[in-house]
Amino acid sequence: MKVPLLDLQVQLSYLENDLIAAVTRVIKSTRYIQGPEVENLEREIAEYSGAAHGIGVTSGTDALLVCLMALGIGPGDKVLTSPYSFFATMGGILRLGAIPIFADIDPVSFNIDPAKISEILAADKKREIKAIIPVHLYGQCADMAAIMKLAEQYGLPVIEDAAQAIGAEYPMLKDGKIEYKKAGSMGIAGCFSFFPSKNLGGIGDGGMVIAQEKSFAEKLILLRNHGAQPKYYHKLVGGNFRLDPLQAAALRVKLPYLESWHRQRADNAASYNRLFADTGLVADKKVQLPVSVFADGQDVIKGGRNVHIYNQYVLRLKKRNALIQWLTRNDIGCEIYYPVPLHKQECLGQLATKTHCPEAEKAANETLALPIYPGLTSSMQLYVVEKIVQFYR
Ligand SMILES: *Cc1c(COP(=O)(O)O)cnc(C)c1O
């Protein structure tokens, strides 16, 4: 049996006609820049995520960059983030001449550890850190209550890298009651990616920023179009960060399916968890399952759930590298997210040697993502688990 890491043909089988109709609609409209498809998607995503504003941009990478530009981050500034993420999380910081500072991750959730953030901010006597970028890795929110509390204490803006987590929910405590907040709606801005492998993926690159404050949203709108207002009168130095209407039209076809895709992914994760638990591999500590927890080890926080959208189903495993070879030989797709933590990337030069994040380094050596996409069948999942059992035997 062949089990790919991701198979977009499954959704294409029922979306193809609608996607072609949407793309045709854009072509026939001759509105190829901005226009109604982009505006409608912006409104729909903002509404879906509980945000006041949606600003379509070229990619998740540019969503992060344009947010940092809007905050005025520049040379010499420091930005605090997670060392365990896709490169784009720190790419924007570096491109602006700023310096990424890394707070190590919590080994259970793989998300940035608020206790580490607290230590670093307390040591930043000169107040060089200008913003915090938590990442909601694999589709599960970082501990935003703790992060927002620290951000408030130090007067720092928070930009959520929600590229993998559109629709994930976090149980924020408000007046003693739980209020579920969607990923991206808690900080000053939230960044989404529509890269095809994300839960909501386009037919190419795309991204969006969501924001609550009108003034911040207006700045983002200026910056994504060369800072021009009106046309040819440049208030700020921005760039061309505009979302393609072809992508917006395709994404609007997919958005109504998003919740059902999240559910299928969560169901697949629950099936894997059950199957793995039955094998004894978990009890033997060969395999550590993903769980909705924070550093305190509680599955239920404040009586609420940290609702995971499972963009990736990631295990921590013994003999990971040998297992990858075995799975590949058996036609099972898998991937390491990510093999080199950000603070160890070559492009950092001097900075890379100075920083230590032992948990991120350990995770990079021990984690592996398995197929979890909607449409993955139960016999495929059974096959994956059987092969992993065979490997450890
Ligand atoms: C995918 C991703 C990005 C970048 O998104 P693109 O649309 O590919 O530019 C940024 N951060 C994280 C965590 C991602 O997974």
Ligand 1: residues within 6 Å at CB? Answer: 59-61, 85-86, 88-89, 135, 161, 163-164, 193, 195, 205, 207
| Substitution candidate for ligand 1 out of 62, 86, 93 with most atoms within 8 A of CB | 86
For ligand 1, the distance from its centroid to the CA atom of residue 60, given in whole angstroms, is 5
Domains of the chain with CATH codes: 9-256 (3.40.640.10), 258-392 (3.90.1150.10)
Query: What is the pLDDT tens value at each position of the chain, 393 positions in all?
Result: 999 999 999 999 999 999 999 999 999 999 999 999 999 999 999 999 999 999 999 999 999 999 999 999 999 999 999 999 999 999 999 999 999 999 999 999 999 999 999 999 999 999 999 999 999 999 999 999 999 999 999 999 999 999 999 999 999 988 888 899 999 999 999 999 999 999 999 999 999 999 999 999 999 999 999 999 999 999 999 999 999 999 999 999 999 999 999 999 999 999 999 999 999 999 999 999 987 654 344 444 566 788 999 999 999 999 999 999 999 999 999 999 999 999 999 999 888 878 899 999 999 999 999 999 999 999 999 999 999 999 999
- In this prediction the pTM is 0.97
Q: Whose CA is nearest to atom 5 of ligand 1?
A: 60
For ligand 1, the distance from its centroid to the CA atom of residue 214, given in whole angstroms, is 25
Burial degree of 177 (CB within 10 A; 0-12, 13-18, 19+): exposed
